[in-house]
Structure formats: C-alpha cells, structure tokens
Structure 1
Amino acid sequence: MTIVLDGCAVVTMDGDRSEHAVGHVVVEDARIVAVASGRAPRGLDDATYVDGSGCLATPGLVNTHHHLYQWLTRGVAVDHTLFEWLTTLYPVWGCLDEDAVRIGATGALVQLARTGCTTTTDHHYVFPTDGGDLLGAEIEAAREVGLRFLPTRGSMDLGASQGGLPPDHVVEHLDQILTATADAIDRHHDASPDSMLRVGVAPCSPFSVTADLLEQTALLARDKGVRLHTHLAETVDEDDFCREKFGCGPVEYVESLGWLGPDVWLAHGVHLGDSDIATMASSQTCVAHCPSSNARLGAGICRTRDLHAAGVPVGLGVDGAASNEAASLVEELRHSVLFARAVGGPRALTVRDGLELATLGGARVLGWDDQIGSLEPGKLADIALWRIDTAPHAGIPDPVAALVLGTPPPLELLLVQGRAVVRNDAMVDLDEDRLAIDVGAASEALAGKAVGG
C-alpha cells in the first residue's frame, strides 16, 4: 500500500532539521520513501492520497516512561508526596491480575495514541503471586491498539522488613525475578529493524530493590543485548534515602553497580547536581523527563536545559496515569518547554527543542533512533498529522508553535508502521465508548479487591 500525505507543513527532524511550509510524505507499506517540498506528484500507482492542507506532519511522538496499569488507579492520593502516594497505592496494585492489566493498559495506550504517540515503553514492576501473565497482558493490549512497544520487566525485592518502601507482599525474590526477566526477553524481544516489540529490564528504584538485584539485572540485560531502565533522582526523599542507606547520592550509587551507560535510561532525573550531569553526559546515560508527573507530585523540575546542553540524551514521558491523570504525550511536549522556561528563561528550550525531545530524542533514549523519530526515506512510517487550522490554532504563523504552545490539536491521522491507528481524531479499530465502560468497571473491581483484601 502507498499512502501520500499531501500539501501539509512537514517538520522532518532529519539531520539537517529540514522543514517544508508545504510539502508531502510518501509511504510504501511500512516505510517512508520520499519527503519533499511542494505538492506530491500525481498518479502514483494504487496510492491513497491524504489531503494535508491545514495540517502539520511530524514524526510520531515517543513516550519514554509509563506505568500502564495505573490507568485503573487515577485520582487517588492527589495531594500526596511520592512516598505517601506509593504507600497508599501499593496495596491496590498488589491485587492486579491479567484482566485488570489488559484493560488498564488498553485505556492508557489509547490515550497515548489519541495524543500523537506511536511508540511507548512501559515499566511494569508489580507482579502479585496469583496475578497471571501481566507482561503478556499489556503486550496483547499494545498489539490490539497498534502502537510500537518496549515493555520492561520491572521488579522489586526490597520490602519494608528489609528497609525498603514497598510492603513485603508486593516484592519478589531475586532468583524468581532473574528467571522471569530472562523468560520475558526470550519470549517477546524482537531486535529486527521493523520490530514492533522490544523488551527491556527495569528494577524499580533504589528504595525498592537491593544492590544484588541491580547488579544481576545489569549483567542479564547486557548478556541478552537489551536496554536497562529504572527510576532515579526523582525526589528529595529518594536522595535522603540513598545518602542515609548507601552514603552517597543516587547517581553515584547506581554508577557503582554498573547502571550507567548508553544502554541505560533513567526516569525523572530531577535532583541532579552538576557533577551528576557531567557523569551522565560522559557515560551517555539517557533521561526520561516527565514534567507533568513531577509537578503533580511536587517533586520539582528537571534541569532539562542543562542536560540537553551537556549532551545527555533526553526524551519525554507521561509517567503512570496515577500521577498524571491526563497522560497526554502532546501535553508533555508543551510542559517540557514551559517548565524549562519557568526556571531558565524564555530561551531555555525552544519550541523545536521540545519537539525534538518528543520525537528523535525519545527514539534515541529507547535505542530506536535508527528506525524512528524522524521523517526521512528509509525510516519506519510512524507519522502524526495534526490539524492546525481549527479555531484554537488558526492565525498562528509557525505550525510548530501552534502544536507546542497552543491547545492540543486534533489528530487528522496517526500512522504506525504505515497503518492508520487514529483517523479524524478517533481510534480506527477500537470502540472508545465500550472501553470507557470496561475501564470504569475494572477500576471499581480492583479497588474493591484491595478493600476486601
């Protein structure tokens, strides 16, 4: 199949950062074959032409940090700190099962798609003993929704009785974690160039995992050739915990355990000193910046400008929907720019810097930038076509400013690997009204199980 997006503004994010005020993009099957200025040539064999007048084509947005299951626990502990919020919700998450995770993940993935996301990761780290195949459930959901997916097999082995934050009944034993993680990689990871599914390894955080787990999972991930992910430097409480327990800050602690490098990405990175940023830059360790979640939990504002200037790869994440009820990736794009300017002045991040974080930056963080993140021939056809001629955006001369600083525009079309997932601002193959009913029922059932337990 050939699809031609014709007559739209195009922001490519290619090596030259080419832009076309009026341009076109040609897709054949899964890949982009042409991007150029002007209207598309007529008469391409068996081509479907999409009139892009009044629209902006960008690479699909890339979400670098999420907890999909949390879609079922939104609106809880809304005025709490991170540690207070976690201790409130751990007992609820300890009641998860396959059906709950599948429904919650579907709801979260649909929201991502509806807000321009074509590729997402997930950090799933709660595995109740009788919960079933929770990672498989979210992989099934991503396949149904149609997004490119990098789930990570998360873990916790440091319960409250050992000085950790989570209650003992939601943690696992080290050997169990290593076996399950290796199995998840062997069953699901696809390293091929046109892969829709890759797998990562993701112990949860310094306050919920042991040093042994961090060391062993790093060895496992590198042996299997997959990426590593964890939370780090999110709050002052975490920094205090690391200094009290380990005698150093979070970055120094994980560095001592082999957890820095170009195959590692860290969620949040809010509380970083200059030396931390220099260490991360020299090791090319990546950061998933989650501005809305950090604001919602009062954690602080990531030093995005400093990270970017130092050469640290940075992408954007919505984080779990229990700490960012909107879970809108296009809003993270806006918030990343506004929050950076709030602390660093109007030139801290440009609107194009923000769009880069959301596209090519995110692709680099996930180790997928050779295939996605920009619109150029040979790359996979992950494309967002935004309508920017509606009343909230009409009259804004710069289409990138309209996208980044204006209200979230409707999606005319979202292609993932050349397949339409969103069209005319609605999901193509999913009944959103039915999904809303299912999510409401699953959320109520999960809360009821937690109370009953």
Structure 2
Amino acid sequence: MRTLIKNIDTLATFDSEERELKNAWIEIEDNIIKEIGVNTPPQGEFGKVIDAKGMVMLPGFVNTHHHFYQSLFRAVRQVQDAKLFDWLVFLYERWKYIDEEAVYISSIVAILEMMKSGVTTTTDHLYLFPKGHPNLYDAEVEGARLTGVRFYGTRGSMSLSKKDGGLPPDSVVQTEEEILKDYERVVKLYHDPKPFSMSRVALAPCSPFSVTKELMILTREFAEKHDLLLHTHLAETKDEDEFCIEKFGKRPVDYMEELGWLSDRVWFAHLVHLTDIDIKKLSDARVGMAHCPTSNMRLGSGISPVYKMKNTNMRIGLAVDGSSSNDTGNFLLEIRNAMLLQRVAFGESALTASEALKLGTFGGASVLRMEKEIGSIEVGKAADIIGFKLDDRLEFAGGLSDPVRALVFCDAKGVDFSMINGNVVIEDGRFVHIDEEKYIQKQNEISRKLLSME
C-alpha cells in the first residue's frame, strides 16, 4: 500500500546531514520510506493520506534497556529510598511469584506507555525465570506482538544465587544447562535477522553479581556462533565496584575485558562509574551503551559521564530502564533528563538538546546495530515515524521558534501520531487498535496480588 504524509510543518530527519525540512512530505511504500520532499507532494493513488499540518515529525525513538515486568512494582513503599543492592534483595522476594500472565500483561502496559512517549523500537532485559515458569520469554514476545512495537528482546539469565556468593535467592536462578538450552529454543523461535524484522533476540546475563564467570563466557561463545548481540548491566553503582574487586580482583570493565566481553557485539546498561582508562577501552572496542539517566537518579547511583563518551567510538543510546527503578516508562523524560543531568554535572554545553534527541533516535539504532534500518527518516529505511502537534498544546505555547528543540526544552508530554513499520498505531494522541484501559485494570489487579505475597 502507498501512504502519503503531507503538510509536515517541520520534518527532522536525523540523517547524516541532520536536515530539517519545512512544509515536507513523506511517501511510503508498504513499510518502507520511498521518497521525501518539500512543498508539492507526489500525485497518484494512495491507500492512506495523512495531513500533518501543525506537526513536527521525526524518527521514532529507540529504547535500549528495560525490564517490562517491573512495571508491576512501581513506587513500592518499602524501597522508595533504598540503594540498588537493598532494593534488589527486597524485590527478588516478590518477583519470584511472577508467572506468564504477569509477564504478558506487564509487557503490554510497559510498551504502551513508551509508545505514547514516542518509542517505536524497544528492547527488554528479561533475566528473571522463577522455578516452574521457563517460558516467560514467550509471554513477553506475545505481549510485544499485540502492541505492534518493533521488538528486540534479550533472553536474560541469572545463575549465581546467594548461597554461591551472588545476590538473588535460589528461587529465581537457573542452572547453566537450563539457560543454554533455552537460548537455543528462544533464538530458533523468535530471532529474525532479516532487514526490517519485528522480532530479534540478543543474549543478556543479568550482571556480574548474579551470573557465574562460566556462564558469561559460554553466552559469549553462543552469541559468536549464532551472530547475536550481547547485553548486561555494568558499572552501575559503587557497590558493584566493590563486589567485582572482592570477588574477581578487578573492576567491572576490566572483568568484562577478561571475559572477552569488550566488542562491538556488546552493549552495556548504565556505565556510571568509569575511569578515563575504562572509557578508552570501551571506545577502542566500539562497545554500545544504554544510558539510563532517570533510573540512575532515582536510585542515587550517580551520573554517567556521557559528555566524555559522546565523541568516542562508543555507540550511545537512551533507555527508560525500570520500571521499578524509574517508576515511569516515559522516553521523552529520558531525553530531557539526559540533557539536564549532563549540564548539572559537567557544564552548560555538556549535552545539547539536538544531541539528546539524536541519542534517542539514531544513537539507539546504532546500539542495536540497526542504523541501516531505523533511527532516521531516509529513503530506504523503515517507516517508523512520530509526530507532535505543537500549535495547540500548552507546554509549547511561546516555544515555536525552534519546534524540534522545543520537544526537549518545553517538556513534551506525549506524541499525537505514531507509525511503526508503516502502520499507524497512534492518531490524535490515542491508540488506534488497542483498549489500554483493559490492560491498566488487569495490571493493577496482578500488582496488588504480587505485592501481597510473602
């Protein structure tokens, strides 16, 4: 089907020339951008014509790290002021009751929340597999498919329980044999490496304090054999530094180097506590990074020195993380907080609004090695496009001299339009095919039940 989006007030392409076009149009063939131009749009028969008058449009945002199931555990009173390790120890005892329905519903809710804030592609780090529930990944994929999001899931894992010197209890870890066997199953079922795929899989042992050294190496070898990406948390807190030094005799980045985990196949979440030597090693290896500013603030973990890394060879994207270490899945908030937090820590020019937006679009695409498919509005790329109507919204009143940067400075509240893979999923700020109220009610019901269990 041919689709035309016309009368776009401002089209921010985020291409290599960073073009911003006025009175623009986009011609789409099925799910691919066929042509872009200004003024008079092309003629002919179109299955759908979208009038974007009064709107600024840009490529859909790419979320590079999340834990969908945690949206069931937002603002939990007992750990609102806890540091990461204490927060985890408390919540592990509630997370151990998660089942397939909980993962399915929470995945839908988490994705819909992100979609309303402009996300069109997301990953997720599902590392929790309580005993008796080995197929939680399948429930997550089913939830993602219902929403229509472009999904790059990660089959996570935990193998180092408290009795063996790790942090999680026995009830939420698996053996290395169980994990490796399920890697095979999940990749066979859900990893589609073809261009413009809607379902891909990476492998993601949880963290240095919840998996064995052996599993990290075996996972890397499996990923190399099957040409998969790798992901894990790293250098998030000072406690993690101390844990790695005590257990491995090395700081986190050096430990990853020993395991062979410094490569362009890898992206790490957080990377808060880094030395200049760490940054050089990460840059030399062209490692990817999911910057999670709000979660790092929420847990008091620190401020990642993104301003030092933004001009290196590292691939840097943004992520909402959480949801119970962030309590929201608002990607627009991550873009704004990324800019503001770098300025608070490192000066007024540490990160510009344009740079923050690019981290959320092309940067995220490069983290997932999808920069040839998504992340910018260019001919031949996927039709993943979002739009904001600026001329009748309170937060933008008086801020129209620079409509693109206004999305960051003026605190945009949500998208008015979203297209994913050529399909319109949000129109006039509302979901086209999904009744979100149904899933909100079910999510609250499951959340109350899980929090009541001991």
Residues 1:435 and 2:435 aligned together: no
Kept after mapping to 1: 8 A contact 2:32/2:381? yes
Corresponding letter in the other structure for 1:305: Y
Residues 1:395 and 2:398 aligned together: yes
Kept after mapping to 1: 8 A contact 2:63/2:122? yes
Residue equivalent to 2:73 = 73
Q: TM-score, normalised by structure 2?
A: 0.97
Q: How far apart are 1:260 and its partner, in Å?
A: 1.1
Corresponding letter in the other structure for 1:320: G
Residue equivalent to 1:46 = 46
Residue equivalent to 1:424 = 428
* CA distance, structure 2, for counterparts of residue 291 and residue 229 of structure 1: 18
Please point out which of 261, 276, 279 is paired with 2:278: 276
Q: How far apart are 1:349 and its partner, in Å?
A: 1.0
Q: How does 1:328-367 map to 2 (within 5 A)?
A: 328-367=330-369
Kept after mapping to 2: 8 A contact 1:95/1:131? no
Corresponding letter in the other structure for 1:58: L
Residue equivalent to 1:63 = 63
Deviation track 1:12-57 (CA, whole Å, cap 9, x = no partner) reads 111111111331212121010112233423x331242222122111
Residue equivalent to 2:34 = 33
Kept after mapping to 2: 8 A contact 1:24/1:35? yes
* CA distance, structure 2, for counterparts of residue 156 and residue 351 of structure 1: 37
Corresponding letter in the other structure for 2:161: G
Deviation track 1:72-95 (CA, whole Å, cap 9, x = no partner) reads 111121111000110010011111
* CA distance, structure 2, for counterparts of residue 47 and residue 131 of structure 1: 44
Residue equivalent to 1:120 = 122
Deviation track 1:240-263 (CA, whole Å, cap 9, x = no partner) reads 111111111100001100111111
Q: Which runs of 5+ in 1 are unaligned?
A: none
Residue equivalent to 1:93 = 95
Residues 1:107 and 2:109 aligned together: yes
* CA distance, structure 2, for counterparts of residue 101 and residue 426 of structure 1: 24
CA-based RMSD: 1.1
Residue equivalent to 1:407 = 411
Q: How far apart are 1:234 and its partner, in Å?
A: 0.3
Deviation track 1:283-313 (CA, whole Å, cap 9, x = no partner) reads 0011100000000000011111111122311
* CA distance, structure 2, for counterparts of residue 19 and residue 11 of structure 1: 4
Q: How many pairs are equivalent?
A: 449
Corresponding letter in the other structure for 1:421: V
Kept after mapping to 2: 8 A contact 1:100/1:442? yes
* CA distance, structure 2, for counterparts of residue 349 and residue 404 of structure 1: 12
Corresponding letter in the other structure for 2:67: H
Q: How does 1:180-329 map to 2 (within 5 A)?
A: 180-329=182-331
Residue equivalent to 1:444 = 448
Corresponding letter in the other structure for 2:37: A
- Counting aligned pairs with the same residue, the percent is 41
Kept after mapping to 2: 8 A contact 1:359/1:373? yes
SS in 2 for 1:230: strand
Kept after mapping to 1: 8 A contact 2:395/2:412? no
Corresponding letter in the other structure for 2:53: S
Q: How does 1:144-159 map to 2 (within 5 A)?
A: 144-159=146-161
SS in 1 for 2:269: strand
Corresponding letter in the other structure for 1:21: K
Kept after mapping to 1: 8 A contact 2:118/2:414? no
* CA distance, structure 1, for counterparts of residue 40 and residue 324 of structure 2: 44
* CA distance, structure 2, for counterparts of residue 382 and residue 299 of structure 1: 33
Kept after mapping to 1: 8 A contact 2:4/2:46? no
Q: How far apart are 1:327 and its partner, in Å?
A: 1.1
Deviation track 1:131-162 (CA, whole Å, cap 9, x = no partner) reads 25210101001100000001111001111111
Moved more, 44-53 or 11-20: 44-53
Corresponding letter in the other structure for 2:424: A
Deviation track 1:191-242 (CA, whole Å, cap 9, x = no partner) reads 0112000000000000111100100000001111110000000001001111
Deviation track 1:349-400 (CA, whole Å, cap 9, x = no partner) reads 1111011100000001011111000000000100011112222213321112
Q: How far apart are 1:67 and its partner, in Å?
A: 0.3
Structure 1 outlier segments of 4+, above 4 Å: none
Corresponding letter in the other structure for 2:394: A
Q: How far apart are 1:423 and its partner, in Å?
A: 1.2
SS in 1 for 2:396: coil
Q: Which runs of 5+ in 2 are unaligned?
A: none
Kept after mapping to 2: 8 A contact 1:98/1:132? no
